[in-house]
């Protein structure tokens, strides 16, 4: 009886293996991967932020004459400080080969307090000169390092406003011939800029981006006469001034996409 039971068990085992071998293999489905949201760079945007800046200038002193005569070597000085900025622009995204390219145009305005001490070496005078505002309009072109990270170059036209400088005699007594003091009037300098930066699409809110950019601007040489406080007349001397401004700025950007939001990549 025991031998019969063992024989039946062995037969059942072999039969089960044979049936399993004849059955088709069970198909296992791959897990479904949710679509991945990728930033869309085509669209317009607004942004705001701030940063830190330095300005640098080269000045050459003249007696106005006539004739106008140079009386000092070219010397330099500058200033530093903080600024706030607002910006608006539009971009367009396209592909070339394996690369994603973004091109665009923008304009921005800076509210600045970038100041430093300036010397009038012809009169042994000192004064504070401040860059109070600047604006720029230009374009940029960039490459998508990842679908959400843009590295770009920028460039365009810029203007910077430097406020009035009130001169103080470094040795204390009033200036000869101008007891009420001297000043150099404020002026707007015109020039161009180049820059480079990156912009990143933040994942926690659609349309929200973070941008950081370094920018260097050069402004054309301009003649600035020294004036008398009492009557605004020229004092008989002037400076030719050429200026450079360097800034690092970061902004929070909100983008209005033409495509209605993020592009969805399916894998």
Question: 84-125 pLDDT, tens per residue?
Answer: 999 999 999 999 988 999 999 999 999 999 999 988 877 778
**Are 159 and 102 within 8 A, CB to CB?**
no
In a domain, 4, yes or no: no
| Torsion on CA atoms 247, 251, 256, 260, rounded to nearest 10 | 120
What percent of the chain is predicted at pLDDT more than 70? 79
Question: For position 260, what pLDDT does the model report?
Answer: 42
Where does the pLDDT of residue 204 fall: very low under 50, low under 70, confident under 90, or very high at 90 and above? Answer: confident
Digit-coded pLDDT (tens) for 122-158: 777 889 999 999 999 999 999 999 999 999 999 999 9
Q: How many CB atoms lie under 10 A from the CB of residue 162? A: 29
Strands (DSSP E) found in 121-261: 125-146, 149-162, 165-169, 182-184, 187-201, 208-228, 234-257
Digit-coded pLDDT (tens) for 186-198: 999 999 999 999 9
Nearest to 43 by CA among 199, 192, 247: 199
In a domain, 246, yes or no: yes
In a domain, 22, yes or no: no
The SS3 assignment for 222 reads strand
What percent of the chain is predicted at pLDDT more than 90? 67
**Are 38 and 230 within 8 A, CB to CB?**
no
Note down the domain range covering 74. Answer: 37-260
In a domain, 51, yes or no: yes
**Are 72 and 63 within 8 A, CB to CB?**
no
**Alpha-carbon distance 50 to 187, whole Å?**
23
In this structure, the strands spanning 75-96 and 43-63 are antiparallel
Digit-coded pLDDT (tens) for 50-94: 999 999 999 999 999 899 999 999 999 999 999 999 999 999 999
Question: For position 120, what pLDDT does the model report?
Answer: 81
Where does the pLDDT of residue 213 fall: very low under 50, low under 70, confident under 90, or very high at 90 and above? Answer: very high
What is the value of pTM for the model shown? 0.81
E strand or H helix that includes residue 12: helix 2-22
Question: What CATH number did the domain enclosing 95 receive?
Answer: 2.40.160.20
In a domain, 44, yes or no: yes
In a domain, 21, yes or no: no
| Domain count along the chain | 1
Question: For position 169, what pLDDT does the model report?
Answer: 82
Average pLDDT, the chain: 85
């Amino acid at each position: 009886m025991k031998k019969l039971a063992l024989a039946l068990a062995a037969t059942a085992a072999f039969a089960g293996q044979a049936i399993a071998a004849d059955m088709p293999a069970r198909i296992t489905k791959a897990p479904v991967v949710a679509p991945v949201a990728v930033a869309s760079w085509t669209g317009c945007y607004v942004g705001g932020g701030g940063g830190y800046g330095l300005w640098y200038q080269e000045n050459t002193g003249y007696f106005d004459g006539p004739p106008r005569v140079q009386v000092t070597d070219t010397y330099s000085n500058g200033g530093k400080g903080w600024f706030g900025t607002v910006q608006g622009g539009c971009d367009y995204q396209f592909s070339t080969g394996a690369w994603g390219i973004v091109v665009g145009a923008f304009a921005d305005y800076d509210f600045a307090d970038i100041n430093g001490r300036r010397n009038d070496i012809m009169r042994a005078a000192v004064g504070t000169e401040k860059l109070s505002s600047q604006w720029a309009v230009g374009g940029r072109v960039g490459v998508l390092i990842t679908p959400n990270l843009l590295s770009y170059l920028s460039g365009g036209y810029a203007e910077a406003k430097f406020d009035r400088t009130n001169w103080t005699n470094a040795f204390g007594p009033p200036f000869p011939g101008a007891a009420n003091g001297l000043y150099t009037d404020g002026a707007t300098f015109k020039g161009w800029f180049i820059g480079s930066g990156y912009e990143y699409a933040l994942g926690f809110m659609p349309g929200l981006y973070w941008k950081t950019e370094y920018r260097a601007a050069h402004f054309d040489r301009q003649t600035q006469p020294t004036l008398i406080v009492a009557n605004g007349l020229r004092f008989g001397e002037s400076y030719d001034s050429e200026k450079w401004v360097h800034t690092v700025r970061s902004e929070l950007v909100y983008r209005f996409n033409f495509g209605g939001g993020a592009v969805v990549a399916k894998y």
